[in-house]
Amino acid sequence: MADSRVSSRSIPVLHRRGKSAILTALCVAFGCRAKGTQRASTLKDFIKTGCSYAVVSVEIKNEGEDAFKPEIYGDTIILERRITESTSTTVLKDHQGRKVASRKDDLREIVEHFNEVYKA
């Protein structure tokens, strides 16, 4: 689900600049288990010492003929995963930050949509 084209929103490929940390954050945001990241054994390990929670937020460009439910999400889908000591929640928001969905099936539907778009 990555766009290999270079744009103003791309992450530059720089030596030792946190690329793996960004990939880990993306994996966590999209629902990966902590062990799957090979950086932590539980999600709560991602919470900074002294903090009570961690939040990973990803903005997905949602424009053009391949947009996912643009009438609901608008031109940006915001994916937010909040991690606490005991739980994690995922929320999907529209371009204005309003909550649209919070079920895993909703996230799965978005991922499957963009997987199909980028297969071509």
What was the pLDDT predicted at 66? 93
Mean pLDDT, all residues of the chain: 85
Considering only 13-22, 24-33, 89-98, which range has the smallest mean pLDDT? 13-22
Residue 111 lies in a domain: yes
Residue 102 lies in a domain: yes
Residue 4 clears pLDDT 50, i.e. is over it: no
Domain total for the chain?
1
Q: What does the pLDDT look like over 93-118, one tens digit per residue?
A: 999 999 999 999 999 999 999 988 87
Q: Cα–Cα distance between 61 and 7 in angstroms, integer?
A: 12
| Token pair belonging to 26 | 């993306």
Residue 14 lies in a domain: no
What was the pLDDT predicted at 7? 41
Alpha helices, H only, the chain: 19-29, 34-37, 70-73, 104-119
Residue 12 lies in a domain: no
Residue 38 lies in a domain: yes
Q: Which domain holds residue 38?
A: 19-119
Residue 92 lies in a domain: yes
Residue 27 lies in a domain: yes
Q: Cα–Cα distance between 106 and 120 in angstroms, integer?
A: 23
pLDDT grade for 18, boundaries at 50, 70 and 90 = confident
Length of the chain: 120
Residue 70 clears pLDDT 50, i.e. is over it: yes
